[in-house]
A = this chain, B = another copy of it.
Amino acid sequence: MQWDDSLVDRIVNAVMERLGQPAAQSGSGENLVTPDIRAGRVPVGVSARHCHLTPEHVEILFGAGTKLSVFKPLLQPGEFASEQQVTLVGPTGKTLGPVRVLGPERKASQVEISLTDCFALGLKRIPPIRPSGDHRDAPGITIVGPAGAVTLQTGLIRANRHVHLHLSQAEAMGLKDNDTVHVRIEGERPAVLLGVQVRAHKNFRAQLHLDTDDANAVGVKSGDLATLIKSL
C-alpha cells in the first residue's frame, strides 16, 4: 500500500466525516467540488426551531458559570448543537419546547422559529423573515431555562431560505455570495422554492438550510439532495 499525502487526506476526511465534522480544507478546494456540486446538487439540512445565546443569557438561563457544551457538531465548521435546551413562552402563556440552543455563544441572542411555531405560540406579531444576524423589525420573545428566564426585546426571526457553499463550490456553480437561486426538491410533494440566498464563504460546506415548514411541505429530510436552479 502506498502511504502518501493524498491517502492521508482521504483517511482524515473519512474519519472527520464519520465524526460529523466537515473534512478539513487542505489548500485549494479539492474534494469539496464533487460531481453532485458540479450538477448543482446540495444536501438539505432541516433546521428545527432553535436559538443562539449570548454568554450572559446562557448564564441567566442555565446558571452562573455555565458555558454551552457540545451535544453534536453541525456540518458548518465550529457550529454545534449544544446539550442545552430552553422553552419559549408566547404572549398568552403558550409554550413551545424543547428548543435546542446552538453554539458557540454569539454577540446577540437570536431565536429562529417557523410560521407554524408562531401560530402554536399564539404570537400576535409574526416575526419577519431574516438572514441570521439581521434583527431589523424583529420582535422579542421570552426564553425560559432551568435557572432563569430572559425576555428578548428583539431577535425573534423566521430564518430565510439559504444555501451554504464553500467558495470553491460556489465558483464551480457560477455563483457568488448573496446571489439568489431557486431550489428544486423532488419527493412525494415536489416543489421549487424560490428566492434562496447563497452564502458563500471559505469556512462553509454545501448545505441547503430549510425550516420545518418548507421541509414538511415537500417531505424532505436532512441529507436528501436538492438542485439549485439559476432561473426558471
Contact = CB atoms under 8 A, between A and B. Distances in A.
Contacts of A115: 216-217, 219
Interface string A202-218: 00000000001110111
Interface stretch (A33-41, A78-86, A185-193): A185-193
A168 B97 CA distance: 49
A194 B189 CA distance: 7
Contacts of A195: 189-190
Contacts of A110: none
A153 interface: no
Contacts of A114: 216
Contact of A193 (B119, B161, B191, B232): B191
A60 B219 CA distance: 34
Contacts of A219: 115, 129
10 contacts: A116-B216, A129-B188, A189-B193, A189-B195, A189-B214, A191-B192, A214-B217, A216-B217, A217-B218, A232-B232
Interface of A: 114-116, 119, 129, 161, 188-195, 212-214, 216-219, 232
Q: Which 4 pairs between the two chains have the least Cβ-Cβ distance?
A: A217-B217, A115-B216, A190-B194, A192-B192
